Amino acid sequence: MPGEFDLIRRFFHYPTSHTDLGVGDDAALLRARPGMQLVVSTDMLVAGTHFLPDTDPFLLGWKAAAVNISDMAAMAAEPRWITLALALPHADEEWVSALARGFRECCEGYCVDWIGGDTTRGPLNLCPTVFGEVPFESAVRRDGARHGDDLWISGWPGMAALGLAQLQGQLQLVGGWAESCLDRLHRPLPRVALGIGLRGIASAMLDVSDGLLGDLSHILERSQVGAIIEETALPLEPLLAACKITERATAALLGGGDDYELLFCVPREKRGQVEALSRHFELPLHRIGRILDKSGLWLQRGDGVCEALAARGFDHFVAAKTPD
């Protein structure tokens, strides 16, 4: 059975492109570019909580990198470096090799240098830390939403939630939609280019990991505002095509997580700039509501009637998802 340092040498030691010193010493040496702020985030993945223990290790490696890189997109930052701390119940060389390939493939796709980490024996747990750069005072935070801003979401949120339901035997998706939804669950695509494109346009932004409503509540709380979501503007088309159940599709969109799409607020006068970004990146961007000057969250039905929504997503210490 290989030892810790043999695993590191064989599977976690890769050349870097913009790092002064990477794997092989007590620490890496990084050089931030002039005029940039460093952006740092850690997002842990724990077996049985964030992924099933029998998940394909290549896909798990990809996702571990992707969900952390997505945090850079959410801040309008450029991801540059990443580390991986890894706890393993045992040293399965084939499994570790596949994990490392998936992690590296995602990093290379986003020009991120893998600069180190740690391995130890223990319950299966992956803990990457990602480092990025953003021009000074250009990061898009959660606390900038203002009354009258449009509320936007990228892509097709909810597909990963349907994929998980299919995987757990709770739902039978139609035709080829199962493969598409499972791909969204296992291989999320961080919206880095969009996040960078929204510098100077978006007033507030985050990535949706724990459900649209729950993550929106963070923007509302930090910005001390409320919001109204328009039912007729929700991008339900692929979800309805996949499951044929309106209530299930709506619950997946509003309460499902793991898509890592960007949820962002933009002043109305900049609406055309968002539409231009959508065309440029060939990425659907949906205007689903607006920000209010009073606290609370509402859903405006197609008949104009508004109902209050509970803005609560997944909580690791309060096992609940919303809405039902």
Contacts of residue 164, defined as CB under 8 A and 6 or more positions apart, other chains included, come to: 185, 256, 258
Would you say 42 is a known binding-site residue?
Answer: yes
Closest CA to 211 of 260, 272, 155: 260
Would you say 118 is a known binding-site residue?
Answer: yes
298 φ/ψ sector (left φ>0, alpha ψ -120 to 50, else beta): beta
Would you say 286 is a known binding-site residue?
Answer: no
Secondary structure string (H, E, C) spanning the chain: CCCHHHHHHHHCCCCCCCCCECECECCCECCCCCCEEEEEEECCEEECCCECCCCCHHHHHHHHHHHHHHHHHHCCCEEEEEEEEEEECCCCHHHHHHHHHHHHHHHHHCCCEEEEEEEEECCCEEEEEEEEEEECCCCCCCCCCCCCCEEEEECCCCHHHHHHHHHCCCCCCCCCHHHHHHHHHHCCCCCHHHHHHCCCCCCEEEECCCCHHHHHHHHHHHHCCEEEEEHHHCCCHHHHHHHCCHHHHHHHHHHCCCCCCEEEEECHHHHHHHHHHHHHHCCCEEEEEEEECCCEEEEECCCCCEEECCCCCCECCECCCCCC
Would you say 258 is a known binding-site residue?
Answer: yes
Would you say 26 is a known binding-site residue?
Answer: yes
How far is 74 from 123, CA to CA, in rounded Å?
Answer: 30
Would you say 142 is a known binding-site residue?
Answer: yes
Would you say 6 is a known binding-site residue?
Answer: no
Please give the annotated binding residues for Mg(2+), written as ranges.
26, 41-43, 71, 118, 207, 210
Please give the annotated binding residues for substrate, written as ranges.
50, 258, 314
Please give the annotated binding residues for ATP, written as ranges.
117-118, 142, 209
Please give the annotated binding residues, written as ranges.
26, 41-43, 50, 71, 117-118, 142, 207, 209-210, 258, 314
